Copies of this chain bind each other. A is one copy, B any other.
Amino acid sequence: MAAHADDGYRLWLRYDLIKTEAKLARYRQHLQEIVVQGSSPTLKAAKDELKQGLSGLLGNAVNLSAEPSRAFTLVAGTPKSSAFISSLNVSTRLQEAGQEGYLLFTHKTNGRTCTVIAANTDAGVLYGAFHLLRLLQTEQDITSLNLSSAPKTQHRILNHWDNLDRTVERGYSGFSLWDWHKLPEYIDQRYIDYARANASIGINGTVLTNVNANSLVLTEEYLQKVAALANAFRPYGLKVYLTARFSSPLEIGGLKTADPLNPEVQAWWKRKVQEIYRHIPDFGGFLVKANSEGQPGPQNYGRTHADGANMMADALAPMGGIVMWRAFVYDNNVPDDRAKQAYNEFKPLDGTFRKNVLVQVKNGAIDFQPREPFHPLFGAMPRTPLMMEFQITQEYLGQGTHLAYLAPLYKEVLESDTYAKGKGSTVAKVVDGSLHQYTTTGMAGVANIGTDRNWTGHHFGQANWYSFGRLAWDHTLASDQMAQEWLRMTFSNEDAFLQPTRKMMLRSHETVVNYMTPLGLHHIMGWNHHYGPGPWIKDKPRADWTSVYYHRATEKGIGFDRTKTGSNAVAQYFAPVEKLFSSLKNCPEKYLLWFHHLPWDYKVSSGRILWDELCYRYAEGVNEVRDMQQTWEQQQNHVDPERFKHVQTFLKIQEKEARWWRDACLLYFQTFSKRPIPAGLEKPAHDLEYYQRIEPKFAPGI
């Protein structure tokens, strides 16, 4: 119970004294006082953050001043709030910054040097303030700044799959932050710190509730609670959204139908939306999962997804709200290829959605697998804004205890070329609206945040929250840069620490792919909880909920043929991509078994046969975890004991579970390949039955 300064609660917003003396001296010189003119709650938040941040980083109480009065001053504000900012004549440059961007520059005049944060809005000022703090935290030069920044997507949103009983679907870091029972009265300090953390990386919206929705949250009783959260978040530019259960009119409205074309239903939603806005004047809108995995939807009434989305959109439009309609759908009938479903259902609807509807598409066509090729819908709906849905929580990537830095996964998807409008039509350009001139854009991340003291369970899980936010703001950022920023802010600016740990982070996603699903394998995890390996899963209510449906291993070979000779899912991509993935020769090896069913003795690029390559990849995954362990062991002097031990323990769990994955998968696939594990590789510690008997109980994440 000593001061738990290093329990990870502060995330990357650690404002400890800067260690490099020369930098510290320079910062102290340049930031002698803080002038934030204006008094809105958001400007107050910016002011408080700057005061708290600078005081900690510089180790002295930096004074607030109403006007610049020192030789070196920090000034922040908007032309409206601040006469000083207004006097700088930066209105042209500010135009580019838009509603949320900012300028950050050094201004010298009359022998006075001002570090200026200027923006069109108070939220922009806040974002700029966090940028300046980040520069200090990462020990960058601030003596001659000339920066501007504006977000590339409008809606940068966390999706919480949080239930009203505080369990979290696919949540591995404790329970839901939202203590519904004590709301609206009790405002946990954590709500504020949550909003601060989001603001610091540019996240401007949060969907509080699970996509498997409960209509209760739309009742008066709960709206009061939602409003209390919205009030707590508002100063930080964070808007609140809710999931809207499609059958709400029946469940809480007393209607006999939820048919979206029924006027009573339409009127009910209009009234409901008005009620919501009475409580939360800046309510963001609805996220909807409909006709998917048992959730009700418009198809229950013979209507289309567009009918359903448009009904809600019409109710929200007058208030400025949006609908985010998920493309992750399941037909009642098991399709020949699950991967084709979203495209088949949604592409024909392009152009039929209201303006305030975004279709939210998962990064891949299956379901957040360790690796998936990009979703073929991207590029295929030029008249419908498509939002990206990434998963930050590691449902299929080691859940609570595996170190997997996900920026490389996000980047791999964003940089994929759809060829929708020829070469260079990347997924990122679809999502940021530039390819199809979407007027609304967005990026969503399924949150990995819970009540665990360090927010994300694994300390390195924080890096995924961080990089999701940073990428939603600017998808051009490199994984390495974000890793370094996060490491510097969260742990240390020391080079001896940074170099090995960033390498470890950058490699970590590939490592997990290797010991879970190398070479394009997918969906071979344990049943239901998705924890651990389960390539033998079969005979479930739906074929496309099993593993054998996806890996298709037989004595002859393994892999899902999605070319013309198979499901032909590949035809959903634009021609150059289709050609690439269809070609055995050109198909990137990382997607090999995603698109091709191949014999066990097929020769891969290493010169090995497929079976041997699988064995080597699985082995490599385990070995790389051991490398990570070694890397971390060497950081003991750079990291506080509590976090050092925490990560060390989790890496130990990861190594154990990587072996579990490797051994279970290889033993299982070996029953088909009938080949030995190559000499020199570790042999499984147990027999296949042992692994098949493992039945995790009470695995977190429901």
Chain A residues with a Cβ under 8 A of chain B: 1-5, 7, 9-11, 13, 52, 164-166, 174-175, 180-182, 185-187, 189-190, 193, 196, 216, 221, 400-401, 451, 453, 642, 646, 649-650, 652-653, 656, 697-700
- The 3 A-B residue pairs with the shortest CB-CB distance in the complex, in nearest-first order: A1-B10, A165-B698, A164-B698
- Please, which residues of chain B bring their CB within 8 A of the CB of A5? 3
A401–B649 touching, CB < 8 Å: no
Alpha-carbon distance A196/B697, docked complex (angstroms): 30
Q: Is the CB of B7 within 8 A of A1?
A: no
Q: A2-B52, A3-B3, A174-B175 are in contact. Are A653 and B185 (CB under 8 A)?
A: yes
Contact of A9 among B4, B189, B400, B697 (CB under 8 A): B4
Which of B1, B166, B185 sits near A193, CB closer than 8 Å?
B1
The distance in angstroms between the C-alpha atoms of A4 and B11, with both chains bound, is: 14
Task: Decide: A180 and B650 in contact? CB cutoff 8 A.
Answer: no
In the assembled complex, which residues on chain B have CB atoms less than 8 Å from the CB atom of A11?
A: 1
- Cross-chain contact A697 with B401 (CB below 8 angstroms): no
Give the chain B neighbours of A189 by CB distance below 8 A: 4, 7, 642
A197 nearest CB neighbor, chain B only? B1
Contacts of A185 in B (CB 8 A): 649, 652-653, 656
Query: What are the residues of chain B within 8 A of A175 when measuring CB–CB?
Result: 166, 174-175, 451
A216 to B697 Cα, complex, angstroms? 9
B residues in contact with A180, CB < 8 Å: 698
Dominant SS among interface residues on chain A: loop
Contacting pair B650 A699 (CB below 8 A): no
Q: Is the CB of B1 within 8 A of A196?
A: yes
Give the residue name and chain of the B residue nearest to A56 (CB): B2
Contacts A186-B653, A650-B186: A698 and B181 contacting too (C-beta < 8 A)? yes
A1 to chain B, nearest CB (A): 5
**CB-defined contacts of A698 to chain B, threshold 8 Å:** 164-166, 180-181
A181 contacts B10, C-beta separation under 8 Å: no
16 contacts between A and B (CB under 8 A): A1-B9, A1-B13, A1-B193, A3-B5, A164-B698, A166-B700, A174-B451, A181-B700, A182-B400, A182-B401, A182-B653, A185-B656, A186-B646, A189-B642, A190-B453, A451-B451
* Chain B residues with CB under 8 A of A181: 400, 698-700
Kindly provide the distance from the CB of A233 to the nearest chain B CB, expressed in whole angstroms: 15
Name which of A2, A196, A400, A653 has the most chain B CB atoms within 10 A of its CB: A2
| Alpha-carbon gap, A646 to B165, bound state (A) | 22
A174: chain B residues at CB < 8 Å are 175, 451
In whole angstroms, how far apart are the Cα atoms of A305 and B489 in the complex?
A: 61
Are B4 and A697 interface neighbours, CB within 8 A? no
Rounded to whole Å, the gap between the CB of A140 and the closest CB of chain B is: 22
Chain B residues with Cβ below 8 Å from A216 are: 697
CB distance from A673 to the nearest CB of B (A): 31
Query: Which residues on B sit within 8 Å (CB–CB) of A650?
Result: 186
A697 to B699, CA, bound (A): 25
* Shortest Cβ gap from A440 to chain B (Å): 33
A652 closest partner in B (C-beta): B185
Note all chain B residues with C-beta closer than 8 A to A187: 649
Among B186, B649, B656, the residue within 8 A (CB) of A649 is: B186
CA distance A164 to B700 in the complex (A): 10
Contacts of A3 in B (CB 8 A): 3, 5
Closest Cβ neighbor of A702 among chain B residues? B165
Nearest Cβ in chain B — how far from A126, in angstroms? Answer: 15
> In the assembly, what is the distance between CA of A187 and CA of B656, in Å?
17
Bound CA–CA A32/B697 (angstroms): 52
Closest to A696 in B: B181
CB-CB under 8 A from A13, the residues of chain B are 1
A486 to chain B, nearest CB (A): 16
Nearest chain B CB to A651's CB is how many angstroms away? 10
A401: chain B residues within 8 A (beta carbon) = 182, 186
Least CB distance from A212 to B in Å reads 15
What is the CA–CA distance of A190 and B401 in the complex, to the nearest angstrom? Answer: 18
Closest to A694 in B: B221
Residue of A174, A182, A699 most packed against chain B (CB within 10 A): A182
